[in-house]
Structure 1
Amino acid sequence: MPQQRLGRVQWGPLQFGPGSQYSVTGVSGLDDLPDIRSDDMARPGQHGEYTGPDYTGARTVQMKLGLRGQSPDDLRALSLTLRNATQPQDEPAALQLLDQDILVWGKVRKRSIPYDAEYLWSIGDAAIEWYCADPYLYGLTERSASTAAYSPSSGRTYPLTHPRTYGSAGTTGRITAVNAGAAAAYPVLRIDGPVATPAIENVTAGGVLTLDATLQPGEYVLIDTRNRGVQFMGSSPRRSWVRAGSVWPQLQPGANEIAYRGSALAGAPGQSSLLTVTWRDTSL
């Protein structure tokens, strides 16, 4: 359960906080709202402004650390380990607050490990700043749910026999995805064939995403709704498959009902297409 006490923090191979030689003495920017990027404009000839939707900018997280060595050489080793773990990065990495159930994706932009002769024996201080171009706060647990494409029941077999036989009950093609955060989550969708013209609908929020594509058995496509990327077999871009007018699904806070439909392929009896939805609880 999330707690007010910060607890353990994981950055790459390093862990800060209880049980480590790096104590966390202060954090800022984590629960703060990032700067707002607004579309406000003045009302000509009137008091006030017209206001549009508000979007946030990047998030900056600053953390102060206390280094607690056993000797001057041990303190120096702690400083070098911290320095090596906070090098400039090409891509964001996960900063995990393990006891608060929070994950942010950041890049180290500033680092301070001052030398203080008065405390040279075993105690030192440091400060790290992470730039988070993605300002969202994510839950540590990656959630997932799957469903086969909708198919009707086969019904009764004619002519009637004794005992009477019925076809399969069919599948609903629906799942419920719960976003326990306070902001909309951007799920990753995986569609496994065989299927033609797969369609994913957020029944709760409205909107359908349809692909004008055919997937054979063993083929799949990954859809990243945040980046609006579509990759066949996880690597080949297929953005052109998205039908005009499609709505990229988001998971609003709370329960979201997702429906999956598609057309069966000839020659693939008994093989059902599968939709897998993956997401994290999301807040700002």
Structure 2
Amino acid sequence: MSTPAELADWQHELGGVLIGAGTDVQVRAIEGLGQPPVRTSDVEPPSEDGLWIGRDYYGGRTIRIDAAIRVIGQPGGVLDRLAALQDMADTPAVRGAGGTTMDLRLKFPGRPARTVRGRLRKLEPDLTQMVHGFAPLDIEFQAQDHLFYDDTTGTTSIPLGLLTSGGLTFPLMFPFTIAGDPRAVGRPGFLEVAGTAPAWPVLRVNGPCANPTITHVASGRALTVQTTLAAGEWVEVDTRPGWRTVLRDNGGAAPLTPKSRIDEFVLQPGLNELQWTATDPTLTSTLAVTWWPTYKAL
């Protein structure tokens, strides 16, 4: 996974192309960064005043960017910038399958860069002034959800059969301290998750093992994959909405047990504990956990 480019304040990146401050694509305004669209289930009670307030669901936010391409005296440069902006959206990796997305990265003062995942839905230039190297530009980006993501992922690796670390060594030397905070001793099953919203992890079990079970201790939610892995083989459980797949290294699928709810397996902001078990006489298999810190707002 490549490292994202560093962004300056008021500079953004659409499909790998820099826009905003210090670039040839000026950004005049951005809309759609506040509260996302809401799907309500409100009901008007018959023969009665008022409203029964039901459960609310957020839709994917639509971000509109009022911009302009400005490359003075270079009419061809306007078309070059326009082509670059639509290039990523036209790749099979983005539009060639359901659920695939591209990134819109945003950088505002006082915040690190945040990423929105979705697809480019509108890129409409006004070419009437192109001869002067100037073209107003309407951009519309449809996000797959209402959330903002960190540029960088959180990762950890958890060996099989290692539930804790530390302990006491005799003879004891006084005074001594027992660390009640698992962060103090670096216990491998504990994950410190940044952000303000739950994060959906990607869980990869590396063999050799059979029938691995991964448990989120606080919630009690568990995922059991019904498969056998030889050394060098792996199975990956992707819990992210829009994906939610269980795939093996050979491209085939692997089943979960009926009680495994992939749609409820999330990491909460703060400290999380994961435990996992599997049949592995060698005790050499590992669990790799990857997540993107997630934010409800910029």
Would the TM-score normalized by the shorter structure come out above 0.5? yes
On the 8 A contact 1:75/1:124 being kept in 2, the answer is no
Does residue 26 of structure 2 align to residue 23 of structure 1?
yes
The structure 2 residue matched to 1:208, chosen from 222, 244, 267, is 222
Alignment of 1:46-61 (within 5 A): 47-61=49-63
Q: Does 1:183 align with 2:197?
A: yes
Q: Which residue of 2 aligns with 1:93?
A: 102
For 1:202, give the aligned amino acid: H
Contact 2:78 2:133 in 1 (8 A): no
Query: 1:205 Cα shift?
Result: 2.9
Secondary structure at the aligned position of 1:41 is classed as coil
What is the Cα-based RMSD across aligned positions, in Å?
2.7
Report the equivalent of 2:181: none
The Cα of 1:47 is off from its aligned counterpart by: 4.9
Q: Is the 2:150–2:293 Cα contact (8 Å) retained in structure 1?
A: yes
The answer as to whether partners of 1:149 and 1:173 remain within 8 angstroms in 2 is no
Closer, same or farther: CA 102–14 of 1 in aligned 2, 3 Å:
same
- 1:231 is aligned with what amino acid? L
SS of the counterpart of 1:77? Answer: helix
Unaligned runs of 5+ in 2: 1-7, 165-185
Larger radius of gyration: 1
Report if aligned partners of 1:113, 1:125 keep a CA contact under 8 Å in 2: yes
Q: Distance in 2 between matches of 1:46 and 1:253?
A: 42
Q: In 2 relative to 1, CA 130–151 (structure 1 residues): closer, same or farther, beyond 3 Å?
A: closer
Q: 2:214 touches 2:277 (CA, 8 Å); kept in 1?
A: yes
Percent sequence identity over aligned pairs: 28
- Structure 1 distance, partners of 2:196, 2:135, is 38
Alignment partner, residue 246 of structure 2: 230
Give the Cα separation in 2 of the matches to 1:180 and 1:53.
27
Instruction: After superposition, give the CA deviation of every residue in 1:244-276 in whole Å (9 maximum; x if it has no partner).
Output: 2123320112221111222223xxx3x511111
Amino acid at match of 1:82: L
SS at match of 2:127: coil
Could you tell which deviates more after superposition, 32-41 or 44-53? 44-53
Q: 2:172 maps to what in 1?
A: none
Equivalent residue in structure 1 for 2:288, among 263, 276, 283: 276
Q: Confirm or deny: 8 A CA contact 1:67 1:75 kept in the other structure.
A: no
Number of corresponding residues? 252
